[in-house]
Structure 1
């Protein structure tokens, strides 16, 4: 089963990648082990994100600036977005939303 690697672009993903790069550079671990570690990170992050979060957020955008669909991934660029949670409301000027098909069918065909 394939895993999405977009979570590598998070703060946690960047920190992990930098640490592994330092270990490889200092010859403390081989690069193959670092790659395997990142693959495990991808698999674990995808599993946790699909099962753990229980919060629901609604939003309304004044303007859809652009949208794209490629390889089962939707990308939306929206402006003047109102996010509403149970206890908090926020207005944000610009938001990029990336939505991937999380079904097993979509992941196995990649």
Structure 2
């Protein structure tokens, strides 16, 4: 949320246009997806309570409450809520969808 909050502040102050903010978010999504594919090799296990799920235009959206991620290194990361968006081969990012 920090990126979107910062972009909202910049739009409100007139420092950037909403169109530029959207381009920044699209580039962030693409860069993050590319980095995950190329550099992240660790497998994790996710446990939690599935609050909602949806499939629209070949894009799955899951909202998981009280999520717990267990890494291969036995490290555990907990969060109150997480939104997971999954698409085939990054199709949604390439087409500018979120």
TM-score range, shorter chain: 0.5 to 0.7
The normalised TM-score by structure 2 is: 0.56
Shift of 1:50: 1.9
2:17 corresponds to = 30
8 Å Cα contact 1:74/1:99 also seen in 2 = yes
Pick the structure with more strand per residue: 2
- Runs (4 or more) in structure 1 with deviation over 6 Å come to 64-67
The offset of 1:103, in angstroms, is 2.2
CA offsets, 1:75-103, max 9 Å, x none?
6688xx9965433176x8xx978462442
2:28 equivalent in structure 1? 41
Determine which structure has more spread, i.e. the larger CA radius of gyration.
Answer: 1
Q: How much has 1:60 moved relative to structure 2?
A: 8.0
How does the TM-score come out when normalised to structure 1? 0.52
Shifted more, 37-46 versus 49-58: the winner is: 49-58
Structure 2: runs of 5+ lacking an equivalent: none
Q: Which residues of 2 match residues 1-110 of structure 1 at below 5 A?
A: 14-58=1-45, 69-74=55-60, 85-88=71-74, 98=84, 100-103=86-89, 106-107=91-92
What runs of 5+ residues in structure 1 fail to find an aligned partner? 1-13
